[in-house]
Structure 1
Amino acid sequence: MARMTRSATARETALLAAQMQQKEAQPSIRATTATSGGRPMKRNGIVGEPAHKRLKTTGRTTRMNDAQELPHNLVSATLLSELQDKSAPIKLDTRDTTIKKEEIDALSNTLQNTVDKATKAASGPREKEKRSKKTNTYGLTPGISPFPDWAHPTTDECEEVNRLLSTVHGEIVAPTTIPEPSLTVTGCGEVPSVLDALIRTLLSGATTGNNSAMAFNGLVQRFGILKEGVGKGSVDWDAVRRAPLKDVFEAIKRGGLADVKSKKIKAILDMVYEENQQRRDMLLKGSQDAPQDLLTKSEGGKQYEIACADQNFLSLNHLHSLATEDAMVELVKYPGIGPKTAACVLLFCLQRPCFAVDTHIFRICKWLGWVPPDKATEITAFSHLEVRIPDHLKYSLHQLLIRHGKSCPRCRAITGQSSAGWEEGCVIDHLVKRTGKRKGGSMASTEEVKPNGRKRRG
């Protein structure tokens, strides 16, 4: 509808333009008939211009209606005012004019194309800005399995695996309180501060626990711990934010992947700083457009958040007040933070039931038949298992499957019958069908030998 309206306007404007061009040409035509001795009459350099149409100014002659003409010379100021007056009908003068339809169509199309290009140019940057701010959700489907026809795992299957693994690795119970942060062990988010948990978990990715601990300790040694104020005892993340990238790289280089992780850390801290300042401004102004968690925050909570921002204490602790799905969306928007890292922060720091899927869990869940082995990825497996696994088992199964995937001679990555300890068996051996690369061969054997000498299909 908007396009049709603009097109009609362009056609009317084109018709007016054509008429104006014809009227401007008419005096020149009449001037050829007003001759003196067969020559056109000239008055003050203007052919055929009557004296009463001229206005004398300082040293030059000007047409009386020049001041009313627009730069593009399509519509006079008088006519423009009539067009702007919606109550005034548009009058098109068709007397003594012969205007071809093709000419009108061509000029109308030209005008419309010009308007469209200008509109696109004006709206383009805004549309690009909106796209750049779009939250990256990694294709997650909260509350909905990407494999709705895959009926595993059932609650009974989860209970059985949890029971069997507990006999080997001990019973796992989620802590009721979060321990004080360690300055020597990075962990996977088991700290009170959400920002601490996020960066600790980022540092622990794709490396060993020892390496990630060295990286975190490097940050502590170089940038220090806050000695006073609202963030007392926490890493001085604002000092990390303000430091040159090279300094951050040097601080964490012993942990591996320092080039990538230092850039991610700096980018995350910049974003958190900006968000903290924006939230502070909203609180001070009492903005009604503020996020819901700000509108419902207690007065003491508001003052605490303002104090944090005033002292440049970087914080993501407001995520504690968000629903699990909303907190997940907020976390994965930060550079380098995928569903696995975000889920660990939710599980260990925010203490929400959340089944984080790492490489060990993904491997064993495929062998257990809990996800489609040929279709699932770590991300789709997370979405599926988050729906299928009961909340009360998410913490313990996460911990048990990781321990088992690291220690079991049969369930570690790239193992086979020639692996050390293979003969010891596996407590969930009767439930799994191992696939993928194996030690001593390119693919898993379809036949395995149990410690008692019996064969089973696997």
Structure 2
Amino acid sequence: MEGRITRSAAAKEAAQLAAATAASIQNASPSGTQNTAMPLKRKTKRNTTVAEPDINELPHNLGRASVPAANDTPGPLSVTTDQVKETKPLVTKGKIDVIKDELQDTVDKATTTLAKIQGGRLKSNNPYGLTPGFSPFPDWLHPTRQECEEVNRLLSSVHGEVIAPATIPEPSLTVTGCGEVPSVLDALIRTLLSGATTGNNSAMAFQGLVQKFGILQDGIGKGSVDWDAVRQAPVKDIFEAIKSGGLAEMKSKRIKEILNMVYEENMQRRDAFLKAKKEGTAEPPGANNETELQKQIEIDRANEHVLSLNHIHSLSNDAAMLELVKYPGIGPKTAACVILFCLQRPCFAVDTHIFRITKWLGWIPSEKVDEVKAFSHLEVRIPDHLKYSLHQLFIRHGKSCPRCRAITGENSEGWEEGCVIDHLVKRTGKRKGAFESAPKAKNKRKSRGKENDDESE
């Protein structure tokens, strides 16, 4: 995998490129965050009796957004606020603005120069052709930091300010959401269920799994569906459990395949830990970022057949992305949602609404771009501290704005209400003010058989 250019290293690498012609650039991926866990209780209890679901249609399927009260403080993804708490400003506001502009220019030049050295091709060993740390459009210098700040401000004025939660809420048994739960495996399956359907349907599908297979009442997996019971069940039983959620035939097969893969990987990691203790051999990936307690918990989970992907907390963002997209039916959007909502790391998931609006804003090229390339580009260009809020705001706006919905035009209902970002967008499509959206992209994805995690319009 190519070395990642982060914003903190871009200035240094740009200087190296200017001083030494075609010097090779390497920059280590950021170390992964450690997750904390409590010791495993050996016995787990199943309970198949749950309260009658109170299922309500969500404004979107991509996790919950927090609207702050007057005394609220931003969560861990609000980088700028945390930095203010930790350090005192050393320069005036005017100088900070100059520095930001200069840093943005440096990142632009460094990215462009690197692409030229490599002949404009950034090869990556993954099924979706992702280019971690690099934009597939190095000459496309939008969005700038200022553009991101302006759109975030304008959309917040209409839809409310969005702040990442400081803690992840306890998992709901009636709402799937898109990964805003403590368990990585839960987040992955919940997100898979929410793909290409409504929030109501995905919630019913998840409720079907709860009713059919029960949940773990204590131990490491407390609050999670008994995923090992799901793994051992025939595909037809999984299908029956989730059939109310849509696309059940395909999703039931993928859930079964994913859980079988997770089981095998859990066993392999357990064996690697035990062998490392006994013979001093290499530990599995991410182990260097885990405590001895966390390693022992992995071993105990595997021994008790409590399926888990929580070791992904110990991986860098890039490694976590590549780890997640290897599972059947899990594409960059689903993986990015898990990273953003469950791992609580900055990551800019791109769905159909975000793809449409960012194209209208000119943040991505209008030609030869799909959602995967858009993700790779926007992940580099959008500042980390705005990824959570812009992700949520674009989805809210894309579903509610009469002028920015999937298919709209001057004769559409509510068009006269206007749009807060109207002066910034250039709407394109088959007819004036219209945009051809989901169907073709979805059909193409289905025919590839790679991923079907688009949300409903």
Check whether TM > 0.5.
yes
Q: CA deviation at 1:442?
A: 8.6
The equivalent residue for 2:145 is 155
Indicate yes or no: 2:170 matched with 1:177: no
CA distance in 1, matches of 2:306, 2:335: 22
Contact 1:414 1:439 in 2 (8 A): no
- Of residues 246, 250, 257, the one that matches 1:260 is 250
The equivalent residue for 1:350 is 343
TM-score, with normalisation over the residues of structure 1?
Answer: 0.66
Contact 2:398 2:405 in 1 (8 A): yes
Q: CA deviation at 1:320?
A: 0.6
Contact 1:343 1:355 in 2 (8 A): yes
CA distance in 2, matches of 1:438, 1:198: 38
The equivalent residue for 1:233 is 223
Q: CA deviation at 1:136?
A: 3.3
The equivalent residue for 2:155 is 165
CA distance in 1, matches of 2:401, 2:244: 29
Contact 2:187 2:338 in 1 (8 A): yes
Q: CA deviation at 1:289?
A: 2.6
Q: CA deviation at 1:295?
A: 4.4
Identify the structure with bigger relative contact order (alpha carbons < 8 Å, sequence gap 6+). Answer: 2
Specify whether residues 313 and 442 from structure 1 end up closer, same or farther in structure 2 by C-alpha distance, changes over 3 A only.
Answer: closer
Specify whether residues 443 and 365 from structure 1 end up closer, same or farther in structure 2 by C-alpha distance, changes over 3 A only.
Answer: closer
The equivalent residue for 2:187 is 197
Cα RMSD, aligned residues only: 1.8
The equivalent residue for 1:382 is 375
Q: CA deviation at 1:254?
A: 0.5
Q: CA deviation at 1:418?
A: 1.6
Q: Deviations over 1:149-187 (max 9, x none)?
A: 001000000000000000110000011110000001100
Specify whether residues 386 and 295 from structure 1 end up closer, same or farther in structure 2 by C-alpha distance, changes over 3 A only.
Answer: closer
Matches within 5 A, 1:25-424: 136-286=126-276, 288-424=281-417
Q: Secondary structure at the match of 2:308?
A: coil
Structure 2: runs of 5 or more not aligned: 1-123, 438-457
Contact 1:162 1:400 in 2 (8 A): yes
CA distance in 1, matches of 2:164, 2:434: 39
CA distance in 2, matches of 1:418, 1:318: 52
Specify whether residues 215 and 181 from structure 1 end up closer, same or farther in structure 2 by C-alpha distance, changes over 3 A only.
Answer: same
Q: CA deviation at 1:282?
A: 1.1
Deviates more, 1:308-317 or 1:279-288: 279-288
CA distance in 1, matches of 2:435, 2:166: 45
Contact 2:289 2:314 in 1 (8 A): no
Name the structure with the higher helix share.
1
Contact 2:407 2:436 in 1 (8 A): no
Q: CA deviation at 1:408?
A: 0.3
Q: CA deviation at 1:439?
A: 8.7
CA distance in 2, matches of 1:242, 1:172: 41
Q: CA deviation at 1:443?
A: 7.9
Q: Deviations over 1:31-81 (max 9, x none)?
A: xxxxxxxxxxxxxxxxxxxxxxxxxxxxxxxxxxxxxxxxxxxxxxxxxxx
Specify whether residues 139 and 375 from structure 1 end up closer, same or farther in structure 2 by C-alpha distance, changes over 3 A only.
Answer: same
Identity across aligned pairs (percent)?
Answer: 77
The equivalent residue for 1:456 is none
CA distance in 2, matches of 1:338, 1:148: 23
Counterpart AA for 1:325: D
CA distance in 2, matches of 1:135, 1:311: 34
Contact 1:144 1:384 in 2 (8 A): yes
**Count of equivalent residues:** 311
CA distance in 2, matches of 1:137, 1:173: 33
Q: CA deviation at 1:290?
A: 2.4
Q: Secondary structure at the match of 1:431?
A: coil
The structure with the larger Rg is: 1
Q: CA deviation at 1:297?
A: 2.8
The equivalent residue for 1:433 is 426
TM-score, with normalisation over the residues of structure 2?
Answer: 0.66
Q: CA deviation at 1:285?
A: 1.6
